[in-house]
Each structure stands twice: as structure tokens, then as C-alpha cells.
Amino acid sequence: MNKKVNSSEEEWREKLSLNQFRILREKGTEPAFTGEFWNHFEDGQYICAGCDTILFVSDTKFESNCGWPSFSVPADDVIDEKKDVSHGMIRTEVLCKNCGGHLGHVFNDGPKDKGGLRYCINSLSLIFKDKKSNSD
């Protein structure tokens, strides 16, 4: 895992785009079916846009028809989960363990044959590195 990131709000604003800051640092959500990766199925890794930690690999991504990238399982020990009672709902928020960035939420309606979880992640919190560039 990368060295734990503990940046100031000003440093985050310099590093991230306005929309990435809204998602990762202010716990925002991008509209369904608008993110870069909701319908993206190339081989590679999805890394945190805040700190470059590998969060998910492509063989755990699946089509959930929810409008956001969905994964059945994160990479090893890179995710923190926190109870989220905002917006009149009880959900489980998913955060990058390395930088604390808000990624999305996890739900219990994923594929049963893959553990039953659906990590519903904002595209703006991710950067994709294809398999070819990872082997260099």
C-alpha cells in the first residue's frame, strides 16, 4: 500500500479537479450513467484518483445496471467502510483506506456467486490503468 496520505484541503484542491474534489473530499455522487467507467470493461486496474492506491481489478467488475461502476470485491485491505445515514437512508460508505477519499457505497445485492456484494463506485474517484501499461 502507498504511504498514508494526509493532505490539507488546499493540497487536495490543487491535486484534484473540481468534480473529483466534490466526490472524494465532500462525499458527492456523480449522476447515474454519466461517469467514464460505468460501462467500461477493459483489462486492468482501477486506482484511487486521490492517492494512486490500487482499489479494484477488472476481473471483479460486473454489469449491475445501476449506472455506476460495480465491483464484487476490492483489492486487499484498501477499503474502509463507514455507516452512512445521510439522505434519509442507511447505507455503508466506502472510503480509500490510504487517503480517506469517498468512493461510493457497498450494497448486499451483488452476484451471489461472487460473494453477494456490489461496490458501487463513482467514476470520478477512479483512474484506470490498462493491463498492458501495468506490465511495463
* DSSP state letters, 83-131: EE-GGG--EEEEEETTT--EEEEEES-S-GGGTS-EEEE-GGGEEEEEH
CA atoms within 13 A on the CB side of 95: 17
In a 3-state reduction of DSSP, which class is residue 10?
A: helix
- Is 96 annotated as catalytic? no
Q: Are 43 and 128 in contact (CB under 8 A)?
A: no
Residue in 48, 51, 96, 120 annotated catalytic: 120
Mention every residue, 6+ apart, whose C-beta is less than 8 A from residue 54.
45, 46, 47, 75, 78
Q: Are 106 and 94 in contact (CB under 8 A)?
A: yes
d(CA 127, CA 135): 17
The residues carrying an active-site annotation are: 120
